[in-house]
Structure 1
Amino acid sequence: MFYLASTRMVAVWLMEPLENGMRLVSNPKADAIVILGGGKREQSEYNGETMLSEGSGLRLQYGSWLAKQTHLPVLVTGGSPEMQGEAEARVMEKTMLNFYDSSPRWVEDQSKTTEENALYSAPLLKKAGINTIVLVSHGWHLPRAIPLFEKAGFKVIPAGVDFTYAYTPTIRNWVPSARNLERTSWAMHEWMGRIWYALKPAAKPVETPSP
């Protein structure tokens, strides 16, 4: 099972159903862009400053590029899931300022799960009259995130990043690699997450972000 999970065949098989239809359509008619956090880490080369993980960096890079193309305002969302250090959204805000010469209009820094991303972002966006959003995250994450933002009252346009390469018939598909194992791991995480959210009671909406 470990060998199979490390092969491209299994990684693609698990990822493709999640990523299908998650690419951004051209010229989206939306009111704002929402970028979901995907982790952070300490970076010694930046004097130990907290920086975004690779996943968060890809999301922020794409979301910042979309903002410049569409001139839409941006909300970044993500707290400190480990209850330690700076919130992901605050790190995203600093990264936009330092590397992309822009800044988000809204920063939601209390959420610790995808569900809370939607619940805590909703009051900030609704107050500004936002109804349709472009939601930026990994293609495999969006099928779970989109329904949560729809339940929060938004029309959602998916804008996925970092898609799995299409399958091609070659012997390399059966050569194990850490990259394939990582993608299998994320895919299993998402499939289990979808089962969890399908079984758990719906969370109540919040009127204002948590203090």
Structure 2
Amino acid sequence: MLPINLLVELGIISVVLMATRFAGLGRKLAATTLVLFALTAFSPLGNWLLYPLESRFPAWDPSRGAPDGIIVLGGSVDTELSAAHHTPVVPHAADRLLAPAELARRYPNARIVFTGGSANLIANDAREADYSAPILENAGVPKERLILERDSRNTYENATFTKRLVAPKPGERWLLVTSAYHMPRAMGIFRKAGFDVEAYPVDWRMGGRDDLFSFTNNALEGFGHTDVAAREWIGLLAYRLMGRTGELLPGPAED
């Protein structure tokens, strides 16, 4: 359960209790919920949760040479909105699409793979790869360079389906493009799948260590950081328990 959902439910419970003989407990719960709301919305709590994720992998070092391939994880395009409006809708994490377009220009011989289907459990013909491809093409990536993986529903399937699709050869160097906060889990999953990739983090939500001590007057930003971080930490724990990663918080491989 994410923080904003939990706080809403606690608030509802406190109101209900105050209408019963447990009114005293309801008032205490309401006060506690208000304090938690303020901490989540305006304190650096979300940044404290985000920082270990975003700082885990440094920016990619281009001095190591040109990559053979670039893998772009989905998560930017809203497939349902895109299907409803018959055009790609990118509500967040646009860097996941901007960065590979720049990399494609810089490394004209690298293969470009976009991996992302539909996260809906119910069958859905709207696939993220189908809506992301035109964005990449309009940004200058030639259609013939694009390899689309349309069936994956989560990061685990991103890794396993992409490995099957491109059949990486020993010695090839592949970049993995995804949001910085998501990179530890993504790298751990690709490693567990036997696909050796190099981290290319994008879409940072924090500026750096200074943000660990910064309060905000924007409640949406505070809740947003906390929710994103909480979801990712829950995902890391779940994937570790399922054996889909080898570590709770994967980090850079030792040379």
1:24 aligns to what?
60
Distance 1:128 1:110, change over 3 A: farther
Question: For the residues of structure 2 that align with 1:172 and 1:195, how far apart are their CA atoms?
Answer: 27
SS in 2 for 1:115: helix
Higher relative contact order, structure no. (Cα contacts within 8 Å, ≥ 6 residues apart): 1
**Structure 2 counterpart of 1:183, which letter?**
H
Percent identity between the aligned chains? Answer: 26
Q: Quick one: which of 195, 211, 219 aligns to 1:177?
A: 219
Q: In terms of mean alpha carbon deviation, does 116-125 or 13-22 score higher?
A: 13-22
Q: 5 Å matches for 1:99-110?
A: 99-103=139-143, 104-110=145-151
Considering only CA atoms, is the larger Rg found in Structure 1 or Structure 2?
2
Q: Where in structure 2 are there 5+ consecutive unaligned residues?
A: 1-35, 246-255
In structure 2, relative to structure 1, the CA distance for the partners of 1:170 and 1:14 (3 Å cut) is closer
* SS class of match (1:27): helix
AA at the equivalent of 2:63: N
Q: Which moved more, 1:75-84 or 1:191-200?
A: 75-84
Map 1:77-92 → 2, pairs under 5 A: 77-82=115-120, 83-92=123-132
Aligned equivalent of 1:11: 46
TM-score by length of 2: 0.70
CA RMSD of aligned residues (A): 2.7
Q: Give the aligned residue type for 2:74.
A: G
Partner amino acid for 1:196?
A: A
Structure having the larger proportion of residues in strand: 1
Structure 1 partner of 2:100:
63
Task: Give, in whole Å, the separation in 2 of the partners of 1:94 and 1:158.
Answer: 25
Structure 2 partner of 1:125: 166
Stretches of 4+ moved more than 4 A in 1?
Answer: 127-130, 169-172
Aligned in 2, Cα 1:193/1:102: closer, same or farther, shift over 3 Å? same
Q: Which protein has the bigger helix share?
A: 2
Range 72-81 or range 174-183, more displaced: 174-183
- Displacement of 1:27 in angstroms is 3.4
| Matched positions, count | 201
SS of aligned partner of 1:68: helix
Runs of 5+ unmatched residues, structure 1: 204-211
Contact 2:75 2:93 in 1 (8 A): yes
- Answer whether contact 1:22 1:142 (CA < 8 A) is retained: no
Q: Give the Cα–Cα distance (whole angstroms) in 1 for the partners of residues 142 and 242 of structure 2.
A: 38
How far apart are 1:130 and its partner, in Å? 7.8
